[in-house]
Chains A and B, each alone.
Chain A
Amino acid sequence: MTVDTMKQIETEKMVINFGPSHPATHGTLRIILELDGEKVLKATPEIGYLHSGFEKLGEHLDYNQYITITDRMNYLSPLCNNVAYALSAEKLMDIEVPKRAQYIRVLMCELSRIADHLLAVGMQAVDLGAMTVFLYGFRLREDIYDLFEMATGTRLTTSYTRVGGLMRDLPEGFDKAVLQLLPNVVNVVDDIETLLNKNRIWHQRTKGVGVITKEDAISYGISGPQARASGIDWDIREKEPYSRYDDFDFDVIIGLNGDVFDRYLVRMEEIRQSIKICYQTLDKMPEGEVNIDADSGYILPPMDEVYNSIEGLIYHFENIMPNRGMEPPIGEAYVPTESPNGELGFYIVSDGTRTPYRVRTRPPSLINYSIFSKIIEGHMIADVVAILGSLNIIAGELDR
């Protein structure tokens, strides 16, 4: 087609609605796309479809009750949310949980990270037409969820942590089950990388698409694998270790180009590092209690004591009755943690009563999503799903 004939074609700007219930949004997201042919001129994300007032609710629930709400934020890795909230509450109350509890938290967080990254990569692949990757990942994720079920009793809404420890210790045979699973993870990661790493279609769909530069990443507050893919050497597990992450040896994965392909590579390599951490936690797992002393007034006494001794019963009721309960000091605390999506932290303000005065979630999904309209500009409409998948937006956390 010559330049002259090109000029004669008059195109009109078309506005289409992507979502809120589109199969590729994996949650209730809505994007208003202004298109010129297949090229995206402008994208306006509309969020809030899943806004459920979690932060308002947190002002009316006590510290342990709110843990059940944190499950519902990032529902792909609820254990990371549980741990992040418990750490903030413990910092506020100046509690140091036993070493065993901290190691179990690390193990659970890393298993969640594996599950989350597998699903993120799988979803991204299925949106771009690679169904097999998704099935491999999903199959393994089910096995990891079986482990969660074994430890916490539930698969999705785990609510495993408590302020001052854990809901319960690991069950018999849990370490064996984890050791049995981890070689499978390596196999699946190898399989996925064999399918995708040198796949020409995958390269064409992901390389140079949705590039986040280092400056943009800092300006937009991007964190987690998305930021590391852009070359920012910042992993909270290494730089600001919480829950004894400094006892473990792992590498921080950094990409160079900041495109969709690099974000995929960073995620896959982080799964390998998580496997390394899982082995180390099992090797070094100390014996002992998982909860702090019940006399401190922060934790519920064991059920056995509640049913069989009067002191246990009194402690139990002292903790759960509406006009009693834990008495944290007046103050505020924020603990940044490295969730699979980025920096997740709970900013808790306490006025000294049994319920927090204000609970703010630092939502990595919301902050990572805000760059979307910038990086999609000028790309094809088919790249919308590629970029969305690589940012791994979880609507529950996005809207809270």
Chain B
Amino acid sequence: MFLQNLITKVTEQFSDSILDTTEFRGETVLHIKGECVLEVLEVLKSEGFHFLADLTAVDNLEMGGFERYSVVYHLLNHGNGERLVVKAYVPENNPNLPSVESLWKTADWQEREVYDLFGITFDGHPNLIRIMNPDDFKGHPLRKDYPRIGKGERKDFPIVERNIGTKIGRSES
């Protein structure tokens, strides 16, 4: 009941940003546009969903969806134990949305992980660098067009020139 009222309220307030509301196996999912995620989550946080349990992303390339990527926020209300999933959609050509680090500090590392593995950038993030992969890594491994078994892995490594025996150390016979 609490959740239904809240969703009705949010849908009225952000009528042109809410794309859809779905329910599957008792989990309510709120589908929204990526650019308004900060405002919507701010309202949800003030209404009781004060705990960001999880932040991740899904690449909808093969599955289909409103846009190519969706960033998924799992919210939890400690007061009544309700959970709500918010999916924010961002387009393929410019995967960018506002950071929620100002609302929850936990978003710091998790947004870095999403950036590292999906290549989605977050506006207003204090330190958006790779977290799992090394800084000089190319590509974003959890994208669906990134192969599981690498193509041309060998050529990514520089060829080591062996100088032993050419200049220093060679004995003059």
Contact = CB atoms under 8 A, between A and B. Distances in A.
A332 B63 contact: no
A366 B112 CA distance: 12
Contact of A370 (B63, B108, B132, B146): B108
Contact of B25 (A216, A218, A331, A399): A331
A399 B146 CA distance: 19
Query: Secondary structure of the A side of the interface?
Result: mixed
B63 A351 contact: yes
Contact of B74 (A47, A56, A239, A334): A334
Contacts of A59: 148
A143 to B, nearest CB: 35
Interface in B129-143: 130-134, 141-142
A48 B63 contact: no
Given A234-B78, A333-B27, A399-B132, A221 B63 contact: no
Interface stretch (B6-14, B33-41, B50-58, B163-171): B50-58
Interface string A335-366: 01000000101010101000001101010001
B62 interface: yes
B63 A218 contact: no
Contacts of B141: 53, 56
A57 B148 CA distance: 7
Interface residues of A, number: 43
- Which has the most chain A C-beta neighbours within 10 Å: B25, B83, B85, B108? B25
Contacts of B56: 347, 360
Interface in A56-107: 56-57, 59-60, 91-92, 94
B54 A351 contact: no
B134 A334 contact: no
A357 B148 contact: no
Most buried by B among A48, A221, A343, A362: A221
Contacts of A362: 53-54, 74
Nearest to A374: B105
Interface in B85-123: 85, 104-106, 108-110, 113, 117
State the 3 A-B residue pairs at the shortest beta-carbon distance, nearest first.
A221-B106, A48-B132, A51-B132
Interface of A: 47-48, 51, 53, 55-57, 59-60, 91-92, 94, 216, 218-221, 223, 232, 234, 239-240, 331-334, 336, 343, 345, 347, 349, 351, 357-358, 360, 362, 366-367, 369-371, 374, 399
Interface of B: 24-25, 27, 29, 50-54, 56, 58-59, 62-63, 72, 74, 76, 78, 81, 83, 85, 104-106, 108-110, 113, 117, 130-134, 141-142, 146, 148
7 contacts: A56-B142, A220-B105, A349-B63, A351-B62, A357-B58, A360-B72, A367-B109
